[in-house]
Amino acid sequence: MWRTPMSTPLSHINTGLTERELRCELAAAFRLGDRFGWTELVWNHITARVPQEPDHFLINPMGLRWDEISASKLIKVDADGNVIEGDGEVPKAGYVIHSAVHEARPDVVACMHTHTNDGIAVSALRDGLQPLCHEALYFHDNIGYHDCEGASMDVDERSRIQASLGAHQALILRNHGLLTAGGSIGEAFTLMYWLQRACEVQMKVLASNVDWQSIPTSIAERFAKQRDQPRDSSEAFRPGQYEWPALVRQLDAGDPSFRD
């Protein structure tokens, strides 16, 4: 099985979170994703590794819209897809994709997968994501590509997903959608915001039907060096460090039922 060494201990990434707190944060991610328009009916998933239970993760059950998700409605599953706690059916495709990431990447706490229009559009472009805006720069040498294999219902696909993702924080599933993987729920969500934003900008630029200019590789490489600073460095980028608490405060002010 392909694996990458854990660059940051899980206990450091997920410091102090109880399962209850993790459930609330994960439910918040679903509600916020719904607000941003990233949903596709009852499909797509966000998962989070359970604190002190590295082989278990939380996932949304089949049949619920993202705006219906609350902390208590999430189900806990093991590495084989068995329900450990909660009511509901485990989504097979969600299990295949997300278990692949959690199994191979012990540094990943949360994984998010979407089927947005612009995300799918970029996933269908032969050259993939282009460096057309600042948001795209974060994914310079930090994104993988996985060829379409259909509905991702075959557990054998997991090893290929793992190889495609590698040590990156994002994955474009060809003709399918987007995926981000982070050391916290806030990081995975913020990465998805940036990736989605980059895809939206790219499709608008392409639709303009005029010559476009990409950001020079030298600039992208300089950004990547800043991005790859150790997490405790004052120069390090920490996706979600400021954005995520602000978004959760917005939810709490309007509709805190995600905590139920």
Higher pLDDT pick, 14 / 132: 132
Torsion of CA 238, 201, 142, 22, to 10 degrees: 50
User: Does residue 255 form part of some domain?
Assistant: no
User: Does residue 109 form part of some domain?
Assistant: yes
User: Does residue 191 form part of some domain?
Assistant: yes
Query: What's the CATH number where 86 sits?
Result: 3.40.225.10
User: Does residue 4 form part of some domain?
Assistant: no
pLDDT tens-digit map of 125-176: 999 999 999 999 999 999 999 999 988 778 999 999 999 999 999 999 999 9
Q: Which of 74, 253, 102 is nearest to 183 (CA)?
A: 102
User: Does residue 257 form part of some domain?
Assistant: no
**Amino acid in position 97:** I
User: Does residue 168 form part of some domain?
Assistant: yes
Question: How many domains is the chain partitioned into structurally?
Answer: 1
pLDDT tens-digit map of 177-235: 999 999 999 999 999 999 999 999 999 999 999 999 999 999 999 988 888 887 666 66
pLDDT at 6: 31
User: Does residue 193 form part of some domain?
Assistant: yes
Which residues form the domain of 200? 10-250
Largest CA distance in the chain: 54
CA 145 from centroid of its chain's CA atoms: 14
User: Does residue 5 form part of some domain?
Assistant: no
Provide the percentage of residues in the chain whose pLDDT is more than 90.
83
pLDDT at 7: 31
Q: How, if at all, do strands 75-77 and 53-59 pair?
A: antiparallel
**Amino acid in position 8:** T
Q: Which of 17, 105, 23, 7 is nearest to 71 (CA)?
A: 23
